Structure 1
Amino acid sequence: MKVSEAMTRDVQIARPDQTIREAASVMADIDAGAMPVGDHDRLVGMLTDRDIAVRAVALGKGPDTMVRDVMSSEIKYCFEDEDAEEVCQNLADQKIRRIPVVNRDKRLVGILSLGDLARSAPEHEVGAALSAISSPGGAHSQSADGRW
């Protein structure tokens, strides 16, 4: 199965010039812990509820802080035509629960989460990924050099 068959296509996107208050409000409305950050149709970052808590609130930054100031700007992503099972294993290896999906022109086309995979991939693969992601230790950040 390809990533495009499992991913969520209707993705809310934060803007770098948006306040974290606005982005957090959207995250609350859609019940999401993360949002891709886009500038036009280019993926420029990822904003998580943890970014807001650790990079803003914990450092005394207010709700009018710009998304660009707390987002992870170097993020991991996958391609829509990749094998979903391989991406599932990579999520486990990198200890991340969701990943933006781009086309081969590197335009954002969706997001793939463990929940998406749970609905589409064989149960044992998702269970193994969740187990690996949930084990202590290792990198817990979207900050890296892009694709794994």
Structure 2
Amino acid sequence: MMRKVQDVMTKDVTVINAKDSLKDAALKMRELSVGPLPVCDGDRLMGIITDRDIVVRAVSQGKDPNSTTVAEAMTGQLEYAFDDEDISVVAEKMKEKKVRRILALDRDKKLVGIVAMGDLLEALAEEDVGETLESISEAPPPAAH
């Protein structure tokens, strides 16, 4: 049985407003023990901010986290998947785009979750257990001399 994004995603994702400060974002990340926060203006998804974005795009540039807004450091180019997509398709998309997490949207393009690469790999590994055990059990090819 193929699993869908909605089966492996983290639901109840906390978001942050683009007008909030980077300090607010960092505090929220620490409180939740997460690295990414989707950036929303009401229901509208605007981007994503990561702990790395804060460091690389702001702190390392000498910007004040108290006065610099999330909008100034966030990534606006979003990679997303629909919650009813097959996880193997999403895993390929993540590999192709070289992203470690992807936002999950419903078909109305409303944020419904987030999926980390680890979530997908774990789920894919569960599906491939039989195949993996079979390939491990096969006799190795003869050694070349």
For the pair 1:54 / 2:47, whether they are aligned, the reply is no
For the pair 1:10 / 2:12, whether they are aligned, the reply is yes
Q: Distance in 2 between matches of 1:124 and 1:102?
A: 23
Alpha-carbon distance, 1:123 to partner: 5.6
Among 67, 70, 83, the alignment partner of 2:70 is 67
Cα distance change, pair 117–60 in 1 and its aligned pair in 2 (3 A): same
1:119-130 superposed matches below 5 A: 119-122=122-125
Percent sequence identity over aligned pairs: 42
Q: Which amino acid aligns with 1:80?
A: D
Q: Distance in 1 between matches of 2:22 and 2:126?
A: 36
Q: Distance in 2 between matches of 1:62 and 1:124?
A: 47
CA RMSD of aligned residues (A): 1.6
Aligned to 1:23: 25
Q: Distance in 2 between matches of 1:104 and 1:50?
A: 29
TM-score for the superposition, normalised by structure 1: 0.79
Alpha-carbon distance, 1:44 to partner: 0.5
Q: Which amino acid aligns with 1:122?
A: A
Q: Distance in 2 between matches of 1:33 and 1:66?
A: 17
Q: Which amino acid aligns with 1:74?
A: Q
The C-alpha deviation readout for 1:14-43, integer Å capped at 9, x for no partner, is 110111101101111111111111111221
Q: Distance in 1 between matches of 2:20 and 2:83?
A: 27
Q: Distance in 1 between matches of 2:17 and 2:122?
A: 29
Q: Distance in 2 between matches of 1:41 and 1:109?
A: 11
Aligned to 1:115: 118
The C-alpha deviation readout for 1:60-79, integer Å capped at 9, x for no partner, is 11012110111011211111
Alpha-carbon distance, 1:53 to partner: 0.7
Aligned to 1:97: 100
Secondary structure at the counterpart of residue 9 of structure 1 = coil
Aligned to 1:38: 40
Q: Which amino acid aligns with 2:90?
A: V
Q: Which amino acid aligns with 2:99?
A: I
Q: Distance in 2 between matches of 1:122 and 1:21?
A: 38
Q: Structure 1, unaligned stretches of length 5 or more?
A: 126-148
The C-alpha deviation readout for 1:103-128, integer Å capped at 9, x for no partner, is 11111111011232244222698xxx
Q: Distance in 2 between matches of 1:106 and 1:21?
A: 28
Rg comparison, structure with higher value: 2
Alpha-carbon distance, 1:12 to partner: 1.1
